[in-house]
A = this chain, B = another copy of it.
Amino acid sequence: MRLGTIRHDGRTVAVRDEGEAVVLLDAPDVGTLLATDDWAERAATHDGPRLPAAGLTFDAPVPQPGAVFCVGLNYRTHIEESGEQVPAYPTLFGKLARTLIGPHDDIQLPAGEDRLVDWEAELVVVVGRAVRHADPATAAAAIAGFTVGNDISVRDYQRRTSQWLQGKCFEATTPVGPWLRTVDETGPAPDLAISCAVDGDVKQASRTSDLLFGPAELVGYLSRIVTLRPGDLIFTGTPGGVGQSRTPAEFLHAGSIVETTIEGIGSLRNTCVPAA
């Protein structure tokens, strides 16, 4: 099952994918839906009004997650291109929920002088139930499913200090969506093609099975630190091929079109525009 959040009649509403149509669910967004214990059954069986799939406008599936975790250096190819050692622990950093945008919204380039704006295609775990100190089976069962994200990064800010946060939370820079594909269809450790293309040129192409720390392992690790809650997002890291590691380095500019795709889950398509 694929679930999304659309913008409709001046509000948002959660929907279920039915191919040529979507079914409107009785929740304002997928995050709100996930906060109910029986969300999977409700989402699968609810018989609401339908809308044709063509022409819908999507928001991020969970527009206001309570937490957005990110993992750095988690694909072997990206670890190699960054000149780093294979890590013993996941490198975790945070992102602000308010930086998220919908899967077809414009990416706002930072204002002022030309910044070094880069792409990072990512498989995103969506948490489906509250979990703390989870063993591997409980951690896997806490995954609602997966969506597609791009952790657009402002490299010059990211490198200003030892901590990456300031390059990772610029306004309106993090597209997510359009679909949450549920874990019963993907399994907790999916092996899917992941790619990022800029202006039609494929820059990243890998498989999600190349992840060093897999989805359930990340849920378990984080749950030993803090309670994970329904709707929390975990950006699992990006494969090799980011702009700053290319020769010569490449970055995004006004008009650049970024397409981020994970097989069987969905695609983001975002245009870079100067900040409002």
Contact = CB atoms under 8 A, between A and B. Distances in A.
Contacts of A97: 66
Contacts of A166: 89, 92, 225
A157 B91 CA distance: 10
B92 A161 contact: yes
Nearest to A72: B163
A227 interface: yes
Contacts of A87: 161
A169 B89 contact: no
A110 B132 CA distance: 12
A119 interface: no
Contacts of A91: 161-163
B160 A162 contact: no
Interface string A147-169: 00000000001001111111001
A20 to B, nearest CB: 38
Interface residues of A, number: 37
A170 interface: yes
Nearest to A87: B161
A72 B162 CA distance: 10
Given A225-B170, A227-B171, A67 B98 contact: yes
Nearest to A69: B165
A246 interface: no
A99 interface: yes
A101 to B, nearest CB: 12
B96 A94 contact: yes
